[in-house]
């Protein structure tokens, strides 16, 4: 129990150190550049405290639960020797974690509002919900497929740079043909997928899998899944925009 409390307090101290530069920057510009007092200082301090606690619990939870379970499941599937089940698990993991990403949900809702305002879709709640859901599930499907490709790369030992170069070449080509209004959303979708929920589990999957396969180096082969998870949404979202923009 004492050891767990010590680990927690170390995580709390680490969260304070991580947030300190942000606090210093905001305070500097607010007080010395804008020369204005902070509005609702009590609410800001309470919110800051909640952010510190939330970040601490999140990091502590990652180290205690998500990383170990991701690595252990990857190793169990590798020992089981069933590539089919491993790829199915990889797809479900990528899809499930992405569709639940808070950042993706926020971007999809905002994109729906902008699309309705710009006349891309009808300006009613039902169409905005359909657009946001379609965008979310498109991105989630693309990430699931990306994790499958990444797992196959680890299993087969494919060089990662060839796959990444081919993927970004496809992004560049599709950019020339996709509607202008979807390109920015597509590029942003590649970033929001690699966030708080997806990254820990996907990273643990790659490291655990590379550690379990003979001849694979976790440092060389275990990482790179996140790169695929950032790349494929750009391709699929542009395809989504080309489909609904007809």
Helices 180-192 and 102-117, axial angle in degrees (round to 10): 170
**Rounded mean pLDDT of the chain?**
84
pLDDT at residue 108 tops 60: yes
- Measure the CA–CA gap between 149 and 221, rounded to whole angstroms: 13
Residue 149: per-residue pLDDT: 93
Q: Which long-range CB contacts under 8 A does 30-38 form with residues at least 24 apart?
A: none
Residues in the chain: 246
pLDDT in tens, 176-199: 999 888 898 899 888 877 766 777
pLDDT in tens, 48-69: 888 888 878 877 777 676 667 7
Nearest to 56 by CA among 9, 118, 12: 12
Which tops the pLDDT comparison, 209 or 139? 139
Average pLDDT of the residues in 11-18? 81
Percent of the chain with pLDDT over 90: 18
Percent of the chain with pLDDT over 70: 94
Residue 2: per-residue pLDDT: 67
pLDDT at residue 246 tops 70: no
Average pLDDT of the residues in 22-41? 80
Residue 10: per-residue pLDDT: 79
At 200, list the tokens: 């820990």
- Measure the CA–CA gap between 196 and 202, rounded to whole angstroms: 11
User: HSE-up of 189 (CA within 13 Å, CB side)?
Assistant: 34
User: Residue 232's pLDDT band (boundaries 50, 70, 90)?
Assistant: very high
At 18, list the tokens: 């991580």
Residue 245: per-residue pLDDT: 60
User: Residue 244's pLDDT band (boundaries 50, 70, 90)?
Assistant: confident
SS (H, E, C) the chain: CHHHHHHHHHHHHHHHHHHHHHHHHHHHHHHHHCCCCCCCHHHHHHHHHHHHHHHHHHHHHHHHHHHHHHHHHHHHHHHHCCHHHHHHHHHHHHHHHHHCCHHHHHHHHHHHHHHHHCCCCCCCHHHHHHHHHHHHHHHHHHHHHHHHHHHHHHHHCCCHHHHHHHHHHHHHHHHHHCCHHHHHHHHHHHHHCCCCCHHHHHHHHHHHHHHHCCCCCHHHHCCCHHHHHHHHHHHHHHHHHHHHCC
Among the residue ranges 69-78, 173-182, 205-214, the one predicted with the least confidence is: 69-78
At 195, list the tokens: 């966030």
CB atoms within 10 A of CB 47: 11
At 76, list the tokens: 């169990």
pLDDT in tens, 129-173: 998 999 999 999 999 999 999 999 988 888 888 999 999 999 999
Residue 188: per-residue pLDDT: 87
- Measure the CA–CA gap between 181 and 196, rounded to whole angstroms: 27
């Amino acid at each position: 129990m004492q050891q767990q409390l010590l680990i927690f307090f170390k995580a709390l101290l680490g969260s304070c150190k991580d947030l300190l530069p942000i606090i210093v920057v905001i305070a500097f510009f607010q007080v010395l550049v804008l020369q204005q007092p902070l509005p609702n200082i009590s609410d800001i301090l309470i919110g800051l405290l909640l952010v510190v606690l939330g970040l601490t619990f999140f990091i502590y939870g990652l180290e205690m639960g998500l990383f170990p379970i991701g690595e252990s499941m990857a190793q169990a599937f590798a020992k089981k020797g069933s590539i089919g089940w491993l790829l199915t698990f990889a797809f479900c993991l990528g899809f499930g974690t992405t569709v639940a990403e808070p950042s993706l949900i926020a971007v999809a809702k905002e994109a729906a509002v902008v699309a309705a305002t710009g006349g891309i879709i009808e300006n009613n709640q039902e169409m905005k919900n359909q657009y946001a859901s379609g965008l979310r599930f498109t991105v989630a499907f693309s990430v699931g497929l990306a994790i499958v490709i990444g797992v196959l790369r680890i299993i087969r030992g494919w060089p990662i740079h060839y796959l990444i170069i081919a993927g970004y070449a496809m992004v560049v080509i599709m950019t020339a043909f996709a509607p202008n209004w979807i390109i920015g959303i597509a590029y942003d979708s590649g970033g929001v997928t690699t966030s708080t929920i997806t990254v820990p589990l996907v990273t643990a999957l790659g490291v655990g899998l590379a550690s379990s396969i003979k001849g694979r180096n976790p440092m060389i082969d275990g990482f790179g899944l996140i790169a695929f998870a950032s790349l494929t949404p750009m391709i699929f979202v542009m395809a989504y925009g080309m489909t609904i923009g007809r």
